[in-house]
Amino acid sequence: MPGTDRAFEVAKTRVRSNRCVDPTLAPVFGQVASPRLEQPYTRQTNLGWSHQLDSATAITADYVRVDGRDINIRFRPNTRIDGGPRRLADLAIRPNTLSFRTAVSKGESTYDALIIGLRRRMSHGFDLSASYTLSEARSIIGTANDELDANNIQDAADPFNAVNIGPSTRTDARHRVSISAVVQAPWGIQVAPFFIYRSGLPTLTFEGIDTNNDGNVNDITAQAYQYTGLNDDGTATFKDVGPCENVNCSRRAAFSQLNLRLSKSIRLGGTARIEAIAEVFNLFNAKNPALPITSQRVNAAGVAQASFMQPVSYAGDIGQPEQRIGQLGFRFSF
């Protein structure tokens, strides 16, 4: 029996067998779990290479592959059949609605990453560490593999179709950069910048109307979109980047931040020292717009939503990184 229909048969068999054994049993409430649930596991592969350029500098390259298997998902099988009755309408489940879930261990995930690094230890007053990561994280979960799956399944009759396997909205940043350095400046001042960058994370863009007539308003948009910036009035701009071929096909805003630390150590006598420290976080005051992990294109009447692909918070808001902020401090050592 194909795996796409097994969840329905498990649900029906369990309910019917329970009723035959003891007809006084209460109907199944909320969800049914497959008797074949498995413990999720991963297969991991790591390959690394390094090369020393000179006595102070080395480059590294690492490849990481992680395959997740038997991930537990709780998808919603009780959709309508072309606008008609629900698939499980003949079963004594409560509620006999879309909210009923079936738990099976059929989910999979993949993570691929190439990590290139440059390391230079302190030499001639300069220390450097730089890293670039090119990665891809995909799964049927929708958000992240350590969370419950989102309501993203496009066709309950084929829940493991490739359209349902998309980038993870919380983890699939295709590009990540981090650069840190320590510079011994004149007058004994130590300058330490730290820069981080992450490309835009995915978002599920959905129509907001039931285009496939299954009673589940989660149908993905025909096109994929990418956030591009802000207008003078604060509204966001975005562009069409081609067909939307799977869930979470659109991209949110990128993130970047430069932090800077200045310090100077002053001898007080003997082993006693005082170090004056000045730190600035988000030196260039990047706005870093944050968009939701889902975005609805139109409302039930087919009218475009003003909130589509629009940020809901910025740097400095609750739960977000800092706006530009500075602090002064002193450290005594003796």
Domain count, the chain: 1
Question: Contact at 8 Å (CB) between 214 and 84?
Answer: no
How many Cβ atoms are within 10 Å of 95's Cβ, its own excluded?
11
Residue 22 lies in a domain: no
- Contacts of residue 62, defined as CB under 8 A and 6 or more positions apart, other chains included, come to 46, 47, 48, 49, 113, 114, 115, 117
DSSP letter string, 306-330: TTTT--SB-TTSTTS---SEEEEEE
Residue 281 lies in a domain: yes
β partners of residue 266: 274
| Backbone φ/ψ region at 31: left (φ over 0), alpha (ψ -120 to 50), beta | beta
Mapping DSSP to helix (H, G, I), strand (E, B) and coil, where does residue 13 land?
helix
pTM above threshold 0.75 = yes
State how far the Cα of 139 lies from the Cα of 332, in Å rounded to an integer.
Answer: 50
Residue 236 lies in a domain: yes
pLDDT in tens, the chain (334 residues): 444 455 445 444 444 444 444 556 566 668 888 888 999 999 999 999 999 999 999 999 999 999 999 999 998 999 999 999 999 998 888 888 999 999 999 999 999 999 999 999 988 899 999 999 999 999 999 999 888 899 999 999 999 999 999 999 999 999 999 999 999 999 989 999 999 999 999 999 999 999 999 999 999 999 999 999 999 988 999 999 999 999 999 999 999 999 999 999 988 888 888 999 999 999 999 999 999 999 999 999 999 999 999 999 999 999 999 999 999 999 998 8
Residue 86 lies in a domain: no
Look at strands 28-29 and 93-94 and give their pairing.
Answer: parallel
Residue 292 lies in a domain: yes
Domain containing 301 equals 39-71+106-333
Residue 48 lies in a domain: yes
